[in-house]
Structure 1
Amino acid sequence: MCVVQVPAAALENLEGAHLARWCGQLHDWATAGGHCVLLLCHGEVATLAPRLLPLNRLCAGVAQLYPHRGALQYLVHYWSNAEGVFAHRDFESEWRGFHLHVMADGDGLMAAVLAQEGGDRFLYLAQAQALEGAPPFSPAWRLFDNWSALMAGALQAQAATVVLSIDENADVDALTRIVFHLRSERGNGLKLVVREMQPCLRYADERLLLESGASLVAPSSLPLARFLTLLETIQGQVWQGRLPQDPERLIRLHRPPDVGGIVTPVQFRQLAGELLDQGEGVVESAVLVLQPVAGVSPVQALQQLQMRRRGDFACMHAGQVWLFLFACRSDGIERALGNLFRLPWRELFDGYQRLVGHDVAAMGASEGGVAPPQPRQVPVMAPVAQAPSWTAPRPIRLGGER
């Protein structure tokens, strides 16, 4: 038995054909002499294992020992001998003195996970923008300039971590189609990560990406160091979602309707009812009723309303302000109200009540045919009276002439 210690860097420069020829020569020499050769490669071996797996006719087995969450894991990619083939198993191990001992056999869940993973599980394929201009952290990192180049590399992967970046909301639909294509083509073992570089993703956009196959969506507020730590937490995971057959339908369900602003109560009831029914629970929206404080009319409250997003609309009904906020979660309602009104919303209203679908359907139609007054035509306060003449400022010359 020959045990040879080799730095992984020594094999990095061998091209695919050269590596195969070298393994073939070593295999022929060992077979002719009846030897068993064990190569212990130390260093960065994340890129070496995927290159050795296709050479399984020349190498009897490939295994890795790596740290994972404070413990040592012994991963057997495959091992073949006269009794058969053993593959995709992970064992927790520990050092006892100068010996390496297996703690316990990998459980059924870990075995199922590894059965869907390939030898490239330690590789990272990322857009250069997602690393904020930093160079590759190790040979296990491969950087690409754009989505097209990254997608070409990701379509050859099985369990690698693929990091895509986005900085414009207009690119959400295109990125969704890329994520869906990679997930449907390469399976659930691939770890697809989207990093937001600028604040551009809304709640509905994050849901859309996750339901289209993304494993993780990282917000723009996350520093690079914390982002890299977050990547470590998803290693060994398999995407558990159910991929839809048609991504276009999923995109439509997550897109706001082409309506916004102030509408009549009849329009409000119709639009809100349709959106709540058609959404199928894919996107969480909010229907709110706000009661103006004493001294503030609903028209004056509506005058302070500024709606910038499609899918958000309001009406005046029964002396109250009714709001529909598309893709607004419960924990984001008060933040949304703070953005919608020019004045602090707590100074305009006594509070808000959240409604459900049947409350919208029960809206009275007594005011349905009357359009609400346009807020811009109603002054917020009475005009100020003309100031006395003696309060007007007068110029005074300082110094010099009398």
Structure 2
Amino acid sequence: MQTSLPVDSSELLPGKLYALLCQTQPDALLLLQLFSQVDAPRIIVMQSHQSLALGGLSKGQSSLVRRLMLSSESSWFWPDTEQGDTTRDFDSLLDEVKRLHPRHGRHILLCTPESAFDGLTEQSLEVRLEAFAEWADKRDVAVLFLIHGEFNHLRRRLIASHALSGAAFCQSVDDAHLSYHLLHWSSGVGVHADREWLLQHNADGELTALHEIGGERGDVPKVPKTGNLAKAATVPQPGADDGIIFATKASVADGGDSSLLPPEFAPLAEDNASLLAQLADVQTATIVLDCDSLERAKEVGAQCYQLRRRYGAGLKIVVRETQDSLRYAEEHYLLLAGVNLLVPHSVVFSLFLTQLAALEGQWFYRDIPANLGALLESWPRYAILGYVDARLFVDQSRSAFDQAINSDTDSVLVQLTPARDITDTDCLPLCQLRRTGDAVTAVDGQLYMLFRACRLSDAHIALKNSFSLPVSELFRSYQFFTENDEVEQVLGRINQGDTFIDSTTGRRLMRPGSGDPSVNTLSVTGQSFTAGYARLSPLPLD
């Protein structure tokens, strides 16, 4: 196990409470490494049974986590639900920890799902944290809550809590990298505030801190209030590399033999990661990254953000789409990451070169998020695809329109009335949705569709592409809704409907490839459990 984080950035002081929020339970388990740097007796408590806790890890990761647990003073799991009903809420967690009667100087690491906090108001949560902090102070133990989930509301509550002496937030950048952001953290040498590191883990889960993000010379200048950039002292000057273009092979693959590229191009890099690694101290050069899929866009955005923070406003960052994959929301995410120019897949190579030439002399003055974690929060999250029942459709539609407000993107709700002698069950076999996040449901003979992260101007095309027959032949009428008030009225009618098609029947009616059940299945780590009383089970020593 190896990390290069400053030890005091994960130090736990006796008598204090800390919280680290991450998105998945496997991430939470791997992050236990950060708190094994200090030679202090540890007690680990998992608010899930052992098979569930370790089931999401690879063989190497599971072995690493077991070594961490076996090197601790003790490790405990919640009993399997097959052994009887168990309560997995916040109160039961605190009660069980107190039953362990930890000795002075122990570090207690509690891994719990966000759902354990369901039903707690901000005030009731603060009361419980303050009481637990008082208990920790009396026992002279340090407590870390490792909480995994989506954190729609909990993060704000924990940040505002006066009972916590530290709060950090960890998000996945891609399959091998994490953003670790200390919001505030009390240690023996003082308080860390607003510091962020990029972490990398190998196949066996071993974490390494690659570098700290931010505080470099790449702070983006602000546009002067006068609007006169020529007179602004913050305007950077062209660097010696101003005319040089650094690009990946994939980003210029349609340009033919690389030896025929214009002389401004430096030797091509194999991929984005290699390109970033070969950059030494660029100033105002042009950097061209490639993006071939929706899945890679998140990673590419994080790479662009780090380039912008490191090298500042003079750098010209270009992302070229090598496969037709990006949607409106992902394009917005990349622009937020500090990209100067997005080049769609449809742009031919000659026009692409013209666009690169047009960037000469351009400086970047848009605001970017304060840290990588804030950027990753803007990444669109899609939980559904295809046919869903009315209740889930309403929930996901509200989530989509709430996110549209926060991220300045659009979503569209469509109500469709089948033509005469055509029923909703006749229409569903002709419907196929391909974009994750898009959904359809049937209520009272009407079809309702959600096009997530879709401009109204594109909704007609999206609707046309969703059916194998012309929409005008299948439906007597259809209407688009984008305004929140109108959307709420439509969702209210869906909630009050009398006849529904359930999700199982709806998915069976729809064409193959639409509404993969695996996409619609909620993560088991997010469920809530009720009733009964839990007794912790120790980690077996085998």
Q: TM-score range by the shorter chain?
A: 0.5 to 0.7
Structure 2 partner of 1:128? 249
Instruction: Give the distance between the partners of 1:376 and 1:127, measured in 2 at CA.
Output: 42
- Following the alignment from structure 1 to structure 2, what is the Cα–Cα distance between the partners of residues 346 and 141? 51
Measure how far apart 1:283 and its partner are: 2.5
* Mapped partners of 1:334, 1:379: distance in 2: 20
Unaligned runs of 5+ in 2: 1-226, 512-542
Q: Specify whether residues 319 and 145 from structure 1 end up closer, same or farther in structure 2 by C-alpha distance, changes over 3 A only.
A: same
Other structure's SS at 1:141 match: coil
Match of 2:487 among 348, 357, 360: 360
Structural mapping, 1:341-356, within 5 Å: 341-355=467-481, 356=483
Deviates more, 1:252-261 or 1:175-184: 252-261
Matches of 1:267 and 1:182, distance apart in 2 = 39
Q: 1:139 to 1:150 in 2, by over 3 A?
A: same
Measure, in 2, the Cα distance between the counterparts of 1:154 and 1:190: 12
User: CA offsets, 1:252-310, max 9 Å, x none?
Assistant: 43323221222233322222112212341433111111222222122222232112222
Instruction: State the TM-score, normalizing by the size of structure 2.
Output: 0.47
Counterpart in the other structure of 2:446? 320
The answer to whether the 8 A contact 1:300-1:375 is kept is: no
What does the per-residue CA deviation read over 1:223-243, in whole Å, with 9 as the maximum and x for residues that have no partner?
111100011112111122211
Distance between the aligned counterparts of 1:266 and 1:301, measured in 2? 20
Name the aligned partner's letter for residue 366 of structure 1: Q
Distance in 2 (CA, whole Å) between partners of 1:123 and 1:243 is 25
Q: Which secondary structure state, in structure 2, belongs to the residue aligned with residue 144 of structure 1?
A: coil
Please say if residues 439 and 450 of structure 2, whose CA atoms lie closer than 8 Å, have aligned partners that are also in contact: yes
The yes-or-no answer on 1:109 pairing with 2:229 is yes
Between the aligned partners of 2:373 and 2:499, the Cα distance in structure 1 is: 36
Report if aligned partners of 2:464, 2:470 keep a CA contact under 8 Å in 1.
Answer: yes
Aligned-partner SS, 1:237: coil
Take 1:297 and 1:274, find their aligned partners in 2: how far apart are those partners?
29
Partner residue, 1:183 = 308
Q: CA deviation at 1:347?
A: 1.5
- The RMSD of aligned alpha carbons is 2.7
Alpha-carbon distance in structure 2 between the residues aligned to 1:267 and 1:147: 38
1:304 corresponds to which of 430, 446, 454: 430
* TM superposition shift of 1:131: 2.1
Q: 1:140 to 1:310 in 2, by over 3 A?
A: closer
Task: Identify which range, 203-212 or 127-136, moves more after superposition.
Answer: 127-136
Partner SS for 2:378: helix
Deviations 1:177-205 (A, max 9, x none): 11010011111111000111221222222
Q: Which residue of 1 aligns with 2:391?
A: 266
Distance in 2 (alpha carbons) for counterparts of 1:210 and 1:379: 36
Q: In 1, Cα distance between the equivalents of 2:247 and 2:507?
A: 50
Asked whether 1:158 is paired with 2:279, we answer no
Q: Look up the match of 2:403.
A: 278
**Greater alpha carbon shift after TM alignment, 300-309 vs 322-331:** 300-309
Going from structure 1 to structure 2, the CA distance change for 1:352 and 1:241 (only over 3 Å counts) comes to farther
With over 3 angstroms needed to count, the CA separation of the structure-2 counterparts of 1:289 and 1:239, relative to structure 1, is same
The letter of the residue matching 1:337 is L
Higher relative contact order (CA 8 A, sep 6+): 2
Matched residue, 2:186: none
* CA gap 1:285/1:345 in 2 versus in 1, 3 angstroms: same
Report the Cα distance in structure 1 between the residues aligned to 2:438 and 2:334, rounded to whole angstroms.
22
Alignment of 1:58-77 (within 5 A): none
Q: Deviations over 1:368-401 (max 9, x none)?
A: 7844483577799xxxxxxxxxxxxxxxxxxxxx
Preserved CA contact (<8 Å) 2:241 2:282: yes
**Alignment length (residue pairs):** 274
Confirm whether residue 118 of structure 1 aligns to residue 239 of structure 2: yes
CA distance in 1, matches of 2:507, 2:300: 40
CA contact (8 A) 1:305 1:341 kept: yes
| TM-score when normalising by structure 1 | 0.62
CA distance in 2, matches of 1:328, 1:164: 25
Q: Counterpart of 1:350 in 2: which secondary structure?
A: strand
**C-alpha distance in 2 between matches for 1:248 and 1:308:** 29
Gaps of at least 5 residues in structure 1 are: 1-106, 381-402
Question: How far does the alpha carbon of each residue in 1:117-174 deviate from its partner, in whole angstroms, 9 at most, with x for none?
Answer: 4232211111133222422645432022222332134451111111111223322121
Matches within 5 A, 1:1-400: 108-110=228-230, 112=232, 115-132=236-253, 133-135=257-259, 137-142=261-266, 143-279=268-404, 280-355=406-481, 356-362=483-489, 363-364=492-493, 365-367=495-497, 370-372=500-502, 374-375=505-506
Stretch of structure 1 that moved more, 109-118 or 148-157: 109-118
- Residue 116 of structure 1 and its aligned partner are, at CA, apart by 4.7
Q: Which amino acid aligns with 2:251?
A: A
In the alignment, what sits opposite 1:81? none
**Partner letter of residue 311 of structure 1?**
G
* Counterpart AA for 2:496: S
Q: Is the 8 A contact 2:283 2:315 kept in 1?
A: yes
Paired letter, 1:343: L
Question: Is the contact between residue 444 and residue 500 of structure 2 (CA under 8 Å) also seen in structure 1?
Answer: no
